[in-house]
Amino acid sequence: MTQAGATLDIERSLDRPGDALIDPFGRAITYLRVSVTDRCDFRCVYCMAENMTFLPKADLLSLEELDRLCSVFVDKGVRKLRLTGGEPLVRRGIMTLVASLSRHLAGGALDELTITTNGSQLAKYAGELAGHGVERINVSLDTLDPDKFRAITRWGELDKVLAGIDAALAAGLRVKINAVALKGVNEDELGDLTAWAHGRGMDLTIIEVMPLGDIGAGRLEQYLPLSLVRARLSERYTLDEIDYRTGGPARYVRVKETGGRLGFITPLTHNFCESCNRVRVTCTGTLYMCLGQEDAADLRGPLRLSPDNAALAGAIEEAIARKPKGHDFIIDRRHQRPALARHMNVTGG
């Protein structure tokens, strides 16, 4: 985020004095990512082990509780909500939550309600998402090769995802494609993926694999530094630096030949924490102040303590007062174990 963007976030949050969530490093927390389920209909090799044990359904916050939780964050100055997972669109009744959260868009308290999805259920839900005020979505897609797609996702079908993307575009949603760069798997395809995404008016962001969760395979085999990806892409394309920022960790270039935007998220080779404006809540109501640190706060207890939101708001404030300065992921030969035990599907990507 630019300095001006950060200042604007703080000013907006201060519209309601005393309510803004400002962390110890002066960063206004204006972006909440909510993992609405840890379950997924895919088993991507870098995200999960094949036989994952999921949380008992009884531990999950109900849709009403998720709504209440998000709404307290909105009251406290959060301007952007992203639903993620697991796969958010496999949570039963998810459209009820989207519909009810959309009241904050209509009321002007929220700038954006969005979703990160694997696309498998998009053909079914794209129209409804657009109808509830969702304007853009992220779809995760690492390859356009059906066999590789099946190998990466273990259970996924490429055709379904492509049909979902078509449905999203037809419904007027702006789509950004997220692809994880995987050594020896899709590294030779990222140029074609760029041409494909940009040819359909979609941005593409390439993500470095992060050491989250035990996945039953060494991270070093998967890890492909984006400095290498970028160097290879520049043999085919002219990558012009641009100042476009979404407040997130991606750094963007404009690809001259396609006219499209290409983002790089490099948690391992770059630290982007200084402008971090986000926190994450899991489907059990655990608040993680940083994707790359263990410290967390339980919000389910205070949420269930009373129908009044005071205890919940207090717990959120306390947690934000502990938001760490940044993460410290490392993948090298001496650090083959995951930096963090929890998988991406728990915290939400």
Do residues 133 and 172 touch, judged by C-beta distance below 8 A? Answer: no
Tokens (6 digits) for 282: 């899991």
Residues 69-88 contacting ligand SAM, CB under 6 A: 84-85, 87
For the CB of residue 92, give the shortest distance to ligand SAM in the complex, in Å.
16
The residue nearest ligand SAM at its CB is: 349
Give which of 6, 2, 56 is closest to 28, Cα–Cα.
6
46 binds ligand SAM (CB under 6 A): yes
In this complex, which beta carbon is closest to ligand SAM, that of residue 85 or of residue 260? Answer: 85
- Taking CB under 6 A as the rule, which mask of x and - marks residues 320-349 in contact with ligand SAM? ------------------------xx---x
Q: Is residue 113 helix, strand or coil?
A: strand
Q: Is residue 8 helix, strand or coil?
A: helix
In this complex, which beta carbon is closest to ligand SAM, that of residue 22 or of residue 180? Answer: 180
- Other Cβ atoms within 10 Å of 114 Cβ, number: 20
Which position has the token pair 């999960």? 48
Q: DSSP string covering 140-160, please?
A: E---S-HHHHHHHHSS--HHH
In this complex, which beta carbon is closest to ligand SAM, that of residue 21 or of residue 175? Answer: 175
207 binds ligand SAM (CB under 6 A): yes
Question: Which strand (E) or helix (H) includes residue 280?
Answer: strand 278-281
CA 243 from centroid of its chain's CA atoms: 21
- Taking CB under 6 A as the rule, which mask of x and - marks residues 176-195 in contact with ligand SAM? --x-x---------------
Residues 210-229 contacting ligand SAM, CB under 6 A: 210, 212
Judged by CB under 6 A, the number of residues near ligand SAM is 20
Could you tell me which stretch among 41-49, 62-70, 230-238, 329-337 binds ligand SAM (CB under 6 A)? 41-49
Residues 253-282 contacting ligand SAM, CB under 6 A: none
Tokens (6 digits) for 68: 């209440």
- Taking CB under 6 A as the rule, which mask of x and - marks residues 280-319 in contact with ligand SAM? ----------------------------------------
Do residues 309 and 69 touch, judged by C-beta distance below 8 A? Answer: no
Phi and psi, residue 63, nearest 5°: -60, -35
164 binds ligand SAM (CB under 6 A): no
117 binds ligand SAM (CB under 6 A): yes
Burial classification of residue 199, based on how many CB atoms lie within 10 Å of its CB (0-12 exposed, 13-18 middle, 19 or more buried)? exposed
**What residues line the site for ligand SAM (CB under 6 A)?**
40, 44, 46-47, 84-85, 87, 116-118, 140, 178, 180, 207, 209-210, 212, 344-345, 349
